[in-house]
Structure 1
């Protein structure tokens, strides 16, 4: 199989608020909700959501670097990501974005908004931390989100990592939402059935929820995890 995306591990490629709103179906989430964005990288969700009245903390290991280093890593990533999208164009639906160029423009917009806010809020809104070990107390958040990290990088992160990571998110938040549930190569994640089985055995209530967003063809559901 042709590998269209030749990436150096997990890469910084952040999204904007309206994208999160669509692929996490956030229409039912009230302002004032305490939200954790786990592993979102240089996303502008935290700053844009805060401006809309949400209480957001973002956690990612790249927040241990300064804004300049994160921007340079983005530039190193952008060429490979753009080439991958061009090669794999047949695996995407373009109605939301329109084109590969528009996706890249949005990523740059997110990066610029993120870096400006990160320089002011580093250490408070932005916490350097990595799954599956987060430095937060139990139940400190109402909702934890994981965007384009878990399951997407299923070839990099094994099933045990996914189980531990989702359990950790469910420890610090009353509800967890994860999107997408397919790999970078467009296949449904092989880890998902085992993760759901392990969560159910541990007393959680995982469910697949259809969302109003589809970019990777077939990626139309998020995983929602709640406790009894």
Structure 2
């Protein structure tokens, strides 16, 4: 019991937090080198990530969706600052559970997250609903196969204590409805363990006639998080 309580205390985030990533991070943990060139990309649960803003410079058309986009830019920044202390405290306490080769330190992580936030907010101010749609899983306001690829970063599986197996199954099916291919990363919980929802999801996807596979990616921050889930239609 003591060990479980200690694990949970390392990241006391009070729910899902706005902690956005940069384009180069997406490129590695989603193995974007083999991303189909045709068709638009949907970034689901993108939060204050700068991926959609930076992708244009790489010739990729990205639409992002997240319920936080219903708020103002100032409110999103405020939410980031509200949760920043808890996230940084967790990173420092749980340093042993991460591979620091890429980032070096919790302080550098924070600098990169702030860079992503600043790039996102500048783009959010200009592009608004044109690029950022307030919407959330498991019901997205897009048509069938509206996107070539849907990406979901650091939401599904990671927040397995907040989002149950039934939610994950419904979310996966919805992602596969709106996109021809789906990529999800990471596949472990905030506590660093493989998600208990993954076997349930894999079985449900097979029953739905979807092809799901675990694909190695050239990225590891949480130790052991070296694969993404890729879903394609048969």
Provide the aligned C-alpha RMSD in A.
0.8
**Distance in 2 of aligned mates of 1:104 and 1:68:** 19
Structure 1 segments of 4+ aligned residues over 2 angstroms from their partners: 30-33
**Distance in 2 of aligned mates of 1:38 and 1:53:** 19
The Cα shift of 1:29 comes to 1.6
Unaligned runs of 5+ in 2: none
The Cα shift of 1:31 comes to 4.4
Aligned length in residues: 228
Describe the shift of the 1:33–1:94 C-alpha distance in structure 2 as closer, same or farther (beyond 3 A): farther
Instruction: Give the structure 2 partner of residue 80 of structure 1.
Output: 86
Instruction: Give the structure 2 partner of residue 191 of structure 1.
Output: 197
DSSP 3-state at the match of 1:224: strand
**Distance in 2 of aligned mates of 1:77 and 1:173:** 31
**Distance in 2 of aligned mates of 1:120 and 1:148:** 26
Kept in 2, the 8 Å contact 1:35–1:55? The answer is yes
DSSP 3-state at the match of 1:119: helix
Instruction: Give the structure 1 partner of residue 184 of structure 2.
Output: 178
> So what's the TM-score if we normalise by structure 2?
0.96
The Cα shift of 1:33 comes to 3.7
The Cα shift of 1:207 comes to 0.4
**Distance in 1 of aligned mates of 2:128 and 2:135:** 12
**Distance in 1 of aligned mates of 2:38 and 2:131:** 15
Kept in 1, the 8 Å contact 2:156–2:184? The answer is yes
Q: Deviations over 1:158-217 (max 9, x none)?
A: 000000001100000000000000000001000000000000001000000010000000
> So what's the TM-score if we normalise by structure 1?
0.98
